Structure formats: structure tokens, C-alpha cells
Structure 1
Amino acid sequence: MEKLSAPARLFDIVDIQLQKFPKDDMLCLKEKNKWRYYSTREVKETAAKLSAGLSQSDIGFKDNTPEGVDKVVVISNNRPEWIILDLAVQQIGAVIVPVYPTTNPTELNFILQESGAKLVFIDDEEMLDRFDTAISEVTTVQNVYTFSKTRAKHWTELLVDLTPEISQKVEETKASITSERIATIIYTSGTTGLPKGVMLSHSNIISNLLIDKQDLPFPDAPEYKALSFLPLNHIFERVANYFYMISGVSIYYVTDISRIGDYLKEVKPDVFTTVPRLLEKVFNKIMASGHNLKGIKKKIFFWSIGLAQKYDNVKKPGKLYKLQLRIADKLVYSKWRKALGNNLKFIIAGGAACQERLLRIFHAAKIPVYEGYGPTENSPVISANRRVDNEMRFGTVGVPFGGQKVKLGEDGEICVKGPCVMMGYYKNPELTAETIIDGWLHTGDIGIWVEDKYLKITDRKKEIFKTSGGKYVAPQPIENKLKESALIEQAIVVGEGEKFVGALIVPAFENLKSYMLHKGLTYTTNEDAIKDKDIINAYTKIITKANKNFNKVEQIKKYKLLTAEWGVDTGELSPKLSLRRKIIMDKYKKEIEEIYAS
């Protein structure tokens, strides 16, 4: 096997790991309460067997255009088979098209039709039942395989024994694939219409991967363990997995996100990626536990929270503050780290803006969260806060990574140019031309420079709205300020074409219950709680306090408390847990109308 110093194609990453640090636990999955470990050698050989089987099924590339390459759709939760399939499809020059397990059947049908997918790989019986009709309506689909034993064909039926002749053919096919070849099509969630297929080449993703590894910086770390729970269907987690593999990090997959606390304690990971929404939920649990304390313990807890909120990574702390931090660490923060496995070196957050307050608190508690930024169209990372001194600013997404140029348009839109910019949108040259102009990718995100160096995202271009008075309002900063309250779980700012800004607010009901108990109030149901006059007054005070951070036009004048948390299953959140504004505003049209009724 030829020695590789750097990957040219994504599947080369496995060869690099095999050469540098072959592992017994490259990919890990818990099956029936017992860990199943996939070694580097097994992953490489199984991917080769699957490549051979797919080739014999007449799957591969027919010409050098994206339209001429066969497509394979995968709909699955995170598991080793996902990665093995990904590698196998790449090695024969075909294209993997990942689909979120939470995608609605109508969107899946569109993706299958537009891509012309020939094969579908699906996780289990439940998903097979959910998507069976949508798949059966697409004439290009030849077969459906599952990763779990179901009534459909099992994926292992495609594995072919590697005779010397078959192995040579697989290697010859791999050698013919160039780095500029399309590797994947990732359909963005259809929040404002039909999904868009982002085409990324091997070179796009590898360029981003190597830039990330150099600029973070991140050493080879074969002793590290990573926990993987964000959907592999999203480019953020997928590149993170490639990142772990090329660095020798063992990957442990979480199959049940509701049990992530158990996985953290058992695996004791060194690293994981996450989205701000999950960090908010972790912190809300921490706050709920604090509210349940009594006497001196409760006072110490909230003293520690207040202390952490003042944490500054730039200004040198005084002796008194350092002493206070050590005391708080021993009494409070150390317990948080223990609940997270007590071994974390860093957490990478992306997908949406993190609350600055939350970042300060976690860093004070020696739980290092580094926020980054980038769209799928840039493979994805544009910038991130670094692990090195003086390369991080809270409230920003850090310094742009090397090898790419970043500028702000006249309206503040973030534009990027470099090797990571996508090939284009699949079968949509018009939209591609609107998005990539003279090589510059227009991200649709609005930003500013902090200290002429650090990039700060202020909002999405399409989410900024105008009131009836002609004033522009950026909702994200207002929503993040509201969520700093322990009593607010979720919030969306409204007011397009209206006289003033309003908000829909989902209370953090567990914290609200503790708050009501502390105040001597009786909690019965969510519905009754949000009608209680004392509770309404409490939320009014929270909003009044938050309003002080914004100008008069941006301040919330009226709001509505809601009774149920928004979720992916109920449609209000995208798979990466960001707000689907149009869906929320359609669903709560009546409540929004009530805000503006008078």
C-alpha cells in the first residue's frame, strides 16, 4: 500500500489511519448493552467488500458529470455502517446522498426523484415503515437495504469476498477517482421551499478538513475518544468524523440522544461536537438542580453562577477572583465536569449562535466550548475560536481559517472564497449563479468584524424583517438575550410589517416549577402556570430587563407564553435544532394575531 502523507480523496483517510495508528476501536456502537468495536482493518476491508458488491450491482460512475454519476441515498441514525457505506460508495465513484431520519416523506420523495437514486440504505424497521410509500413511488430506486434485520434485504447481502482479482479491481477503480470528483450531495432542510442539493467534491471537504486540523490546531491523538450524536447527515458532524479518523480518535456513536448523559459518563470522551440548543438544555438541567438546593448550598451554587458569568479569557484575573474560582470549582464546577465524563479537552459548537453568557460560564468551569461557523456550501467551516491563547473572543465565531478569503458585503453579508466553496447546487445553475459570484460564496449570513479580526454573526439576511415604520429588526440577538433567563427555553421574535416587535416564548417548565415552589405558588399544569398573574409578571420583568440591551424599535412590546416545547418531530426545529421560522409562524398564527389584535 502506497504511503500517504495527506488524503487526496476522502476514502484515503482510512489508509492513513491504518498506516499511522491502526486501532481496534476505530468505530464503536452499543448493541444490546454491549459495545461492538470496528477496527481500522475491519472498516477498510468491509468497505472494500461493499464497494465490490455495489459495482457488481452496476452502481458507480458512468461519466464525469454529477448527473452521470449513480446516487445512493442513506437514511439512518449515526452508526459505523453509515461510515462504511459512505467510504464504499466513494471508492466506486458513486455519490452518497444523506437524508435526515426526521425528513418528511414528501421531501424524501423529492430528493429521490431529483437525484435519481438507484439504491436506498435505511436504518431499521420503523424508518422503513415510515418511508416505504415515498420510496416505492420512485421508479429509479432498484433496491432498498437496511442496517438492522428487517423484512427488507440486509446490507451485508451486498458484501463480496475479496479474491485477489476483485481486490485489484476495487483498487484500480479507487485509483481512477480524482480529488475534484463529486463526493456527496447534501440537501438542505426545506424551511422556505424545496430542498437544495449542495454538491461537494472530495477536494472541497478535504481542503476544509486539513485547514481545520492545522488552524485549531489539533494534533494526532490516537488515545482520544469522541462521542458522535449530531446527525451524520449534516456536513458539520460528517467532517468532524473525518477529522477524528485522520487524527486517530476513536468514535463512539450515540443511538439514543435522550441517554446522552449515560454515554458521557460511560465513554468519558475527550471531544464532541454539538449545537447551542443542546448546550442550553444541559445548562437548564444544571440550573434546575441549583433551584432544588436549599440553604447554604443554594447560595453557593448561585454565587458560583454569578462568578462564572464574569469570566473573561482576555483580561488577566485578579488574585481574589482566581481564589474565588478555585473555591467555586471545588464546590460546584467539578460536579458539572463529572457529569460530562470528567475528561473533556474541548467541545466544538456550531450550527447557530451560542449565548455569550453560556460560553463564559462553561469556560469558567473548565468546560472549554469553542464556537465555529460555516454553511454546508463551504464544506463547512469558515472560522472558529481557537484552543490557543488570545485566539478566542466570546460572542464571536473566531478568526477565519487560512487558505480562504472572507469579506463583508455592503449590507454586511459574509462572503467567502477558496477551495472549500461548493461545486454548486445540483440541477440548479440559476441558484448557483445567484449564490457564487466571481468565485465568492454569498452565505446569506450578516456579520461584523470585532477588533478587525474576529467574525461575529449578527443574523440571517432572510430573517431580518422590517416593521411598518420601515425600521429593520434582527431577531437572533434578541432571542439569544431572552434565552439567557433560566425561565425561558425557546423564543421567536415576530413583527414583520407590524407597528412593534412581539415574541412567542416557550417557558423552561422544569425551572418554572422550581421557581413557583420557591415563591409559594402551586403548579398544576403548563396551561395553568402561564395564566398565573405572578408568573406573567415574572416574564414581563425578564423581557423588560432584556429590552434594555436594544434600541426602542427592537424592544419587545407584547408577548405570548406557549405551553409546549418546539421540537424536530413536531416540525418547529430543523434537524440541527435551529428554528423553522415560517413553520412556527404558520402554526401559531392565531397567537401572533392576538399579539397585534389591539
Structure 2
Amino acid sequence: MHEISSPALTEAPVTGGLADSVFDTAERTPRLVLFSRRDGDRWHPVTAAAFRDEVMGLAKGLLTRGVRYGDRVAVMSATRYEWTLFDYALWAIGAIPVPVYPTAAAEQVRWILAETAAVACVVEDEDQAMTVGAVCDALPELTGIWQLDRGCVAELVDDGLAVPDALVHRQRLGVTPDSLATVIYTSGTTGRPKGCLLTHGNFAAAADALLDGWGEVFRDSGGGQPATLLFLPLAHVYGRMVEVAAVRGGIRVGHHGRLSTDSLLPALATFRPTFLHAVPYVFEKIHQRAREAAEADGRLELFEQAAEVATTWAAAWERRGLGKGSGPGPALRLRHAAYDRVVYSRLRAVLGGRVRAVMCGGSTLGRDLGLFFTGAGMTVYEGYGLTETTAAITANPAHKPRFGTVGRPVPGASVAIGEDGEVWVRGAGVFAGYLNHPQCTEMALYDGWLATGDIGSLDEDGYLTITGRKKELIVTSSGKNLAPGVLEERVRAHPLIAQCLVVGDNRPYVAALVTLDAQALAHWLKTRGREQLDLWSALADEELHAEVQRAVAAANTTVSRAESIRAFRMLPKEFSLEDGLLTPSLKLRRHAIVERYAQDIEELYAG
């Protein structure tokens, strides 16, 4: 196997658990602001000492309610400060938080709570309380449902006032790096989700690798404390790893519970982070909205010229970082500086004005988009990981990104490519196994290596490129193999197209299901002086169909004819998390989509 490794930069801890960092930081720097809590447009500071006291108070209340070392407690909520508070309070007494997505159906909730034998469940609101309540008869271990919006934190703290601090410390000192920290369920794109057993040592290793390799790029350009707005789902391993890294690294964190740009951008403008962790969807939408705004103001030509200069500048900077060029030339630097004043600075202002680095993962970000944001002054570091690797196992090195790849192994990790192209990884972040699935664990782990199920390649400098999933490979009836992800990404590059699912397994040719972005459609119609159409009416519009056809044709130019999309169908609504067609990290649930739209797919091949 072709293998590459990166040496660890710090030694792995041999004692202690994740909650120790809360108490250690409060002891060393009690006035350091660890969190900011939002109240309207204002953010109120929470110091390290204050957070420690809140963790201690809640931990004592949990002990009073019967939560013991090793117990599992489910948390079902959007991303918010109280989730982090519960995580650290539970870790402080050796208990195990089990994340549940707030949109989970009752059957999914029943399955997770039953398999983990959860003794309690924290929910955000009445709707979630009713979801859990509907299945609690089948959960004999469940003894409590605590609702955040009804003041459960204050109630628990009041209950624990008489408990001595020493009891919490005794529990905390029993936690080791090998102790189980959480059970995070996979997204279930290829079957029923499995619970990944992640230890305190897994999270510590993943967080420390991030801080060791990229800590310098997180800081404010003026030398101040780094800060990030955490809007990734805390039910997802990526969000939890960011949470842990921030607490361990003294990074100020604000919480925001929604991924939509309409909600996110005002929060970014007031919080003003120095760096971000995000999924590609966020940057695709920000770029699209910026382009639409420029077109509406009659500045589209200026925006497109600025975008071209940004990508050209970033490509030259990339070559210099890799030791293959001298960087942007004088003329390019002058043009870049001119556009920075009139275009790039405005884009950075939308994100608060201080963001200079972006870590991106969860799915593939197009090379051109990475170059664009980097050229606009926000360097994009794309990475790759799984729930089983405690988030990132590879990432583009600081100041040396290769756009279009997911980088090199993080410090302390190794990556290898098998004979069949499968990516294998090894490192301290690799999980302990699947809950109650020893056979699946045995199939995934071999001599310390994890078989990821992804297909990829390593270039001559050790940068990894992911091309697809083994289980998602399409084999046409003529025997042609196709990884659909790359082609789908190229179709989605068109502003009108929200999602694309390529099909063709055991079929004579490749076809696609396409969904439209409603806001982009409204903008497209307005710029052409046309009346607005709903998505249903748009399906029959010939001009729109021709526009989508052009997007498909452009994507087809990058593949062979046997791999090209010969037919497509536009659908009247986007695939969504609520209808079960997307994972919580916004990846397509392929089997669910194919099943839901089986008739549409059949009609693509009729005749």
C-alpha cells in the first residue's frame, strides 16, 4: 500500500479526561473569556472561572438526580451553550453524553436511547420532549426528560447545592484517556446507523492535532484571542471536536443553532470570529448570495473580474507555498489590492471582518471555490475525516494548502491507499469500535488501521484526494465504473442547482435527478424581467430547462462520453433533512432518494 505519515507534535496524555481542561484553565487564567452567550445582537462573556463553576454546579445536580459514572445521558438539541455545559458536566462525573439530532424521528430516538441504555434525555423544547415521551414506554432505563427551554439547568443546579465539590472531583479523577467519552451514531447513508465508541483520548488527540498544526492561523491578525462561531451540529463529530479543541486551546466560542445563511450571517457580523469551521454548503451559499447581490446592483462584471483575480492570485500563492513558483507577480498583486478595497473587504465584512482562516470538511469543496475565498483573504484549509476518526484525519497544512485535495495526515496520523483504491487511516483519533457490533468492528479495524470505505489517491507530495465511496460506485450495464460525487459536484457548480444525484447502476447510461435553489431561481427570473414561478411551474419552463441542460453539458465536458449524463429530471423540491433524504451533515442519502423517486428514475430510462 502507498502510505504516508505525519509525526505527532505533542505526547498523548496518559491520565485524565476532557473535563480536566476546564478546571486547569480556570486555575491558570480564571478571567480568560471561554464563551460568549448571545442576547439579541449582544454577546455576553463567560470566563473560564465562571464556566468551571457552572460545570461544577450542573455536575452536582446530575449526581443528585442519580446519574452515575458510566451512565449514558442523551442530548437532543440544536447547537447551543447549554449543550457544551452538559457535555463537560457529564464528563466531570465520568458519565457519557449521547448526541441525538433534534430532527430525529421517534423511531430513531427509540433505537438510540434503547441501544445505549440512556438513563435520561436532555431536550431543547416541547416538541422534542413529546418525541421522546412517545417512545419512553419502550425505554425502561430512562428515568428523566429534562427540557432546556423550561429551565432544567437551573433546577438541576438547585438540586445539587448540598453536594460537596469533592464528590465531583472524585468522579473526575477516575476518568482516563481510555474511558468512553461519547457514543456518536453514524449518518446511516448505507443502512441503520451504528454507534461509534469515542474515548476521552480520541477527542484529546484530535483536538491537540488541530491546535498543534493550525493554531497559528486561528489567531486574530492583531494578536488577540482567537474566536470562532460554532454553528455546526453538536450532534455531529465535527462540531464536538471543535468544541473540545476550543476549550483545550483557550479559544472563545459563540454558539449558533442554524446553518441557513439568512440566520447565520447576522450572527457572524456581530460575533466577529477570527476563523471558522464549516461544511462546503455554507461557502457555496455565501458565494452565490454575493454574486446575486452584485448582479442586482449592476456590478456583476466587476464581481466576476474580482473572482478571476482572486482565483489566479490564490493559485500563484498556492504554487509558492508548495515550492513550485515565486508567487503572485507585481501586476497581479496590484490588481488584487485594488479589488480588495472594493470587493474582497466587503465579503470579509459579511463574515464579521476578522476571519482569515477557514477549516472546511464534511463533504467536498470545489477547488475554484477554495481558491476564490483564499484570494479574497480567507484561506481555506479543506480536511477529511469520519465519525470513526473523531473528525479530521487529514487536512491541508498551514500556509501550504493544495486546493481540491483534503490535505495530508494530521499530526500523529497515517494514511494509506489499498490496491483497490480504498483509503485506510491510522492514528490516536481512530475510534474504539461500534457499540454492540463486534463483527462490524472487526471488519473495519485491522492491526490499528481503519478501512474508511472511501476511494482516493495520494499525490507525490502526500496530499489526499477523495473520489467517492466504495458502496456508491455506479456500474453501468456496459460495465463502466463511475464515482458519482465528482460529477455531481460539477453540476452543482451552477448557481441555479441546489443538488444533483447521479444514477445509472445496471443501466445503459448515466442520468441525474436535479433540484433547484428557490432563491437563486427567483433571482434568475428577476434578472430576465420575467414573472416569478414556483418550483412546480418551473419544471415545465423551456428556458429554465435549457439553462440546466447547459450546466449538465458543462459538467459532461470533464468526463468521457460513457461517464456523461445523458438525461436528467428536475424535481419540484430540494432534498432535505426533514424528509429523510439528507444526513445531518447535509450529504445525500442515496438509497432513500432512489427509493423515493423510483418512478422518476424509471421514466428517465423509458424507451
Distance 2:179 2:234 in 1: 21
Question: How far off is 1:161 after superposition?
Answer: 5.0
SS of structure 1 residue aligned to 2:489: helix
Structure 2: gaps spanning 5 or more residues: 1-10, 320-324
1:307 aligned partner: 309
Question: How far off is 1:351 after superposition?
Answer: 0.6
SS of structure 2 residue aligned to 1:447: strand
RMSD of the alignment, in Å?
A: 2.2
Distance 1:289 1:494 in 2: 34
What TM-score do the two structures reach when normalised by structure 1?
A: 0.92
2:111 aligned partner: 110
1:502 aligns with 2:511: yes
SS of structure 2 residue aligned to 1:216: helix
What TM-score do the two structures reach when normalised by structure 2?
A: 0.91
Task: Indicate the larger mover: 467-476 or 26-35.
Answer: 26-35
Question: How far off is 1:481 after superposition?
Answer: 1.0
Distance 2:359 2:429 in 1: 19
Map residues 509-588 of structure 1 onto 2, 5 A cutoff: 509-588=518-597
User: 1:107-139: per-residue Cα shift (whole Å, max 9, x none)?
Assistant: 110011111111111112232133320234311
Between the two structures, name the one with larger relative contact order (CA 8 Å, sep ≥ 6): 2
Q: Counterpart amino acid of 1:72?
A: V
1:157 aligned partner: 156
1:167 aligns with 2:148: no
CA change 1:539–1:291 in 2 (3 A) is same
Distance 1:398 1:542 in 2: 29
Q: Counterpart amino acid of 2:24?
A: I
1:322 aligned partner: 333
Distance 1:573 1:5 in 2: 36
Distance 1:482 1:385 in 2: 25
2:3 aligned partner: none
| Mapped contact 1:21–1:248 kept (Cα < 8 A) | no
| Mapped contact 1:73–1:98 kept (Cα < 8 A) | yes
Distance 2:481 2:191 in 1: 24
Distance 2:42 2:518 in 1: 35
| Mapped contact 1:200–1:422 kept (Cα < 8 A) | yes
Distance 2:39 2:362 in 1: 30
Map residues 6-85 of structure 1 onto 2, 5 A cutoff: 8-23=16-31, 25-31=33-39, 35-61=43-69, 69-85=70-86
Question: How far off is 1:220 after superposition?
Answer: 8.8
Question: How far off is 1:335 after superposition?
Answer: 1.2
1:384 aligns with 2:398: no
% same residue: 30
Q: 2:210 aligns with which of 197, 200, 212?
A: 212
1:372 aligned partner: 383
Distance 1:162 1:519 in 2: 66
Distance 1:522 1:167 in 2: 66
| Mapped contact 2:16–2:173 kept (Cα < 8 A) | no
Q: Counterpart amino acid of 1:56?
A: T
CA change 1:464–1:85 in 2 (3 A) is same
1:438 aligned partner: 447
| Mapped contact 2:233–2:257 kept (Cα < 8 A) | no
Task: Indicate the larger mover: 45-54 or 451-460.
Answer: 45-54
Structure 1: gaps spanning 5 or more residues: 62-68
Question: How far off is 1:490 after superposition?
Answer: 1.3
Q: Counterpart amino acid of 1:88?
A: A
Question: How far off is 1:35 after superposition?
Answer: 3.9
1:231 aligns with 2:240: no
Question: How far off is 1:178 after superposition?
Answer: 1.6
SS of structure 1 residue aligned to 2:164: helix
Q: Counterpart amino acid of 2:114?
A: Q
Task: Indicate the larger mover: 570-579 or 353-362.
Answer: 570-579
Distance 1:576 1:447 in 2: 20
Q: 2:282 aligns with which of 265, 278, 281?
A: 278
User: 1:128-175: per-residue Cα shift (whole Å, max 9, x none)?
Assistant: 13332023431110111111117xx66633555566x82122212211
Distance 2:180 2:217 in 1: 28
Q: Counterpart amino acid of 1:144?
A: I
1:247 aligned partner: 249
1:143 aligns with 2:144: yes
2:436 aligned partner: 427
CA change 1:303–1:422 in 2 (3 A) is same
Q: 1:350 aligns with which of 355, 361, 364?
A: 361
User: 1:214-273: per-residue Cα shift (whole Å, max 9, x none)?
Assistant: 122448967222101111111111111111112211111113444111111111111221
Distance 2:210 2:89 in 1: 25
1:478 aligns with 2:487: yes
When the two structures are aligned, how many residues end up with a matched partner?
Answer: 581
Q: Counterpart amino acid of 1:336?
A: L
SS of structure 1 residue aligned to 2:257: coil
User: 1:310-357: per-residue Cα shift (whole Å, max 9, x none)?
Assistant: 340214223222222222222222111111111102111111111111
| Mapped contact 1:266–1:341 kept (Cα < 8 A) | yes
CA change 1:525–1:123 in 2 (3 A) is closer
Q: 2:465 aligns with which of 439, 456, 465?
A: 456
2:197 aligned partner: 199
Q: Counterpart amino acid of 1:334?
A: S
Distance 1:128 1:155 in 2: 18
